[in-house]
Chains A and B, each alone.
Chain A
Amino acid sequence: MSEFYHKPSTNIACDSGENQFSAATQAFLDFAKKENVDLLFAQLRINNMVVDDYMTHPLKTRLNVFTVSEGFVAVAAGIAIDEGLIKMEERLCDSFPEYISEQTSEYLLAVTVHDLLTMTTGLAHPLFICDDEERYTVKDWVRYFFEAEFVRMPGIEFVHSNFNTYMLSCLIEKKAGVNLLEYLRDRLFEPIGIGNPDWLTCPKGHIMGANGLYLTVEEMGRFGQLIRYGGELNGHRIVSESFIKSAITKQVKTGVASNNGINGGYGYHFWISNVPNCVMLKGRFGQCIVISLDKDAIFTFQALEGYKYQAMFDKAVEIIQLI
């Protein structure tokens, strides 16, 4: 496979026509051009080295990674477990007694950290996400979750909701006594090269969790590399290997009928692809980290594509196999 990554990292504009990308990256760029999608940045790392850098801007700029940030909250949970702040089987409600009333659903009372990580909290609906109307009007998002409809025992059925991630983040914040950005600043972000991180807060000051983390394509790649190396990067042990191993192993069926390479199941906030040993994080409008464990390859991209971004996720899983 070495023939594909002899090219050193380059910062070349999309339309210069002079760039030489590896076959895998070139296949993705050809696809993007053919489909006319609004791709902004793409990067391929192999063996912890950047081998391809595709840029439509003179500098890498931080962009909203949307739900790619779920992966960061999962690692935060792993760190918090390592430190003894939270336990996998502990109940969420035990830490939020002020939100419990006689009306609280018995299903919700049973929700554990594990259920939050696997998106099996028993929620009837995903609740609101980033561009929904309520996102601009609801002030207390914790209360909103506690008043939501839970229709089955947790741990059974996968329903992807930003609120599961948000509540996991709120739980860690409560135990740590700082917001999730501060908790992760020197435990995760700075050690892997994400300096002065930017993550938005909800109206009450909690980190949004499932949205609002701003990263460059390179920073996404570093995080992917951390996952590939089982929670250790460049000599820093960030989170225990056993946690990462579980996080990227199928924990639950997603039941998502799709052809976009992600219906291999779901781990702890990581999507498991149909390709063996290939997992991904993905966000709205085309934000993606694909990690191939076998090839030690990380392919990341950022886009602002309104309609065809699912096909971009498909393609990313496909091209990483070319390495």
Chain B
Amino acid sequence: MSQVFQDFLDEVKAEGIMLKYAQLRQGGEVVAEFSTMPTKTRLNSFSLCKSVVGIAAGIAIDEGLIKLDDKVCDIFPEYVRNTTSPNLLKVTIRHLLTMTSGLDSTLYFCDWPERYYVRDWIQYFFNVNFPHEPGTVHVYSNFCTYMVTCCIERKAGMNLVEYLRYRLFEPIGIGNPDWTLCPMGHVISANGLHITIDEIGYFGELVLREGNWKGRQLVSAEYVREATKAQVDTSKFIRQLEAAGFNPDIFKYGYGYQFWRTPVPNTAMCSGNYGQVCVIAPDKDAVFSYQAMAGYKLIRLMEIGGLALKEL
């Protein structure tokens, strides 16, 4: 297995990809590591942290704060108008988690212009068009993750970092967590969680152990199993991306509750822009993570990572 790790590093280096850290855990321990830095510094995990929101939803469900079938409009009635899309009225937490809200477009992502001037992101979500019946079409959007967070925050009466501080982060060794906020003070959630490679590994390990951290069940095992299995088909959405010149084969294998499935049976993946990846492989008792700033070579990095995964 360490040979696969070394091959991955060699391939990445040959391509001139700016990989910052990589780590392989097996049997609950770090078995191989790579770093280009004197310290493990926290970097933006981009969309990798969507999976953290996925787990947060599980914790909130365990605590009875929310249910999978709760409607987002019931939690935010003040945003509902006569003109609210009928499909939006039907959107549940489950739809948000599986990215099947009925949206037809992704809306804006982290480096897009709107991200720098739209103030009320909830209002923005409530104003857009939902042409599809919720639950039928997978369209990956930061807003689905963000709205899950807003629902949890409203029910919990605190922001998501505070909600997770002692329920998730501190118990697994992510001390004083850093997550940026939207202009209205909600945790950005679809990105903006800044973590080290070790901390990504801890989170992967928690998922690998189905929510059990050294004997303490932080989130129910049944929820983690549901979250990390393919709940929806992603192939149609990915074909749309292909038309735009983006061909991420690795994203064609389905989506759970804010987790991707991968081409390798029984593996789940958290994945963020520019090369932030955590693969959870229960059959190998392994967690494989890396952080990069891959720029224009992102697709190539994902290919190399995907190949390594097959050989783990």
Do A and B pair up? The answer is yes
A residues lining the B interface (CB < 8 Å) = 13-15, 38, 40, 55-64, 130-131, 135-139, 185, 195-196, 198-200, 202-203, 212, 214, 284-285, 304, 306-307
* Residues from chain A with Cβ under 8 Å of B274 in the complex: 57, 61
**Complex CA–CA separation, A202 to B179 (angstroms):** 11
The digit string for B106-138, where 1 denotes a CB below 8 A from any CB of A, is 000011100111110000000000000000000
Q: Once the chains bind, are B18 and A56 in contact (CB under 8 Å)?
A: yes
Q: Once the chains bind, are B176 and A60 in contact (CB under 8 Å)?
A: no
* Residues from chain A with Cβ under 8 Å of B209 in the complex: none
**Complex CA–CA separation, A40 to B274 (angstroms):** 12
Contact of B175 among A15, A136, A212 (CB under 8 A): A136
Number of interface residues of B (CB under 8 A): 36
Q: Once the chains bind, are A58 and B18 in contact (CB under 8 Å)?
A: no
- Give min CB distance, A192 to chain B, whole Å: 13
**Complex CA–CA separation, A135 to B39 (angstroms):** 13
Smallest Cβ-Cβ distance to B181: which chain A residue = A198
Q: Once the chains bind, are B36 and A306 in contact (CB under 8 Å)?
A: yes
Q: Once the chains bind, are A139 and B36 in contact (CB under 8 Å)?
A: no
* Residues from chain A with Cβ under 8 Å of B265 in the complex: none
**Complex CA–CA separation, A61 to B293 (angstroms):** 11
- Is residue B225 contacting chain A, with contact meaning CB distance below 8 A? no
Q: How many A-B contacts if CB must be within 8 Å?
A: 90
Within B137-193, the residues touching A (CB, 8 Å) are: 175-176, 178, 180-183, 188, 192
**Additional A-B contacts beyond A64-B42, A285-B41 (15; CB < 8 A):** A13-B295, A38-B20, A57-B296, A59-B112, A61-B44, A61-B273, A64-B44, A136-B175, A136-B176, A139-B176, A185-B183, A195-B117, A196-B115, A198-B188, A307-B38
**Complex CA–CA separation, A306 to B40 (angstroms):** 10
Q: Once the chains bind, are A212 and B178 in contact (CB under 8 Å)?
A: yes
- Is residue B194 contacting chain A, with contact meaning CB distance below 8 A? yes
* Residues from chain B with Cβ under 8 Å of A59 in the complex: 111-112
Given the known A-B contacts A56-B295, A202-B176, A203-B176, are A196 and B37 also in contact in the complex, defined by CB atoms under 8 Å? no
Q: Once the chains bind, are B175 and A137 in contact (CB under 8 Å)?
A: yes
**Complex CA–CA separation, A58 to B110 (angstroms):** 13
* Residues from chain B with Cβ under 8 Å of A13 in the complex: 295-296
Given the known A-B contacts A38-B18, A56-B295, A304-B293, are A130 and B176 also in contact in the complex, defined by CB atoms under 8 Å? no
**Complex CA–CA separation, A137 to B177 (angstroms):** 10
6 interchain pairs (CB within 8 A)?
A: A40-B295, A58-B296, A61-B110, A131-B40, A196-B182, A304-B293
- Give min CB distance, A127 to chain B, whole Å: 15
Contact of A200 among B110, B112, B180 (CB under 8 A): B180
- Give min CB distance, B133 to chain A, whole Å: 33
Given the known A-B contacts A56-B295, A61-B274, are A196 and B119 also in contact in the complex, defined by CB atoms under 8 Å? yes
Q: Once the chains bind, are A285 and B296 in contact (CB under 8 Å)?
A: no
- Give min CB distance, A130 to chain B, whole Å: 7
* Residues from chain A with Cβ under 8 Å of B115 in the complex: 196
Q: Once the chains bind, are A63 and B178 in contact (CB under 8 Å)?
A: no
**Complex CA–CA separation, A202 to B37 (angstroms):** 24
Contact of A196 among B42, B176, B183, B273 (CB under 8 A): B183
**Complex CA–CA separation, A55 to B192 (angstroms):** 21
Smallest Cβ-Cβ distance to A306: which chain B residue = B37
Smallest Cβ-Cβ distance to B112: which chain A residue = A59
**Complex CA–CA separation, A55 to B180 (angstroms):** 24
* Residues from chain A with Cβ under 8 Å of B175 in the complex: 136-137
Within B254-312, the residues touching A (CB, 8 Å) are: 273-274, 293, 295-296
Contact of B36 among A38, A195, A212 (CB under 8 A): A38
Contact of B293 among A40, A60, A130, A203 (CB under 8 A): A40
Smallest Cβ-Cβ distance to A130: which chain B residue = B41
**Complex CA–CA separation, A136 to B116 (angstroms):** 29
* Residues from chain A with Cβ under 8 Å of B296 in the complex: 13, 15, 56-58
Which of B176, B183, B192 is packed against the most chain A CB atoms within 10 Å? B176
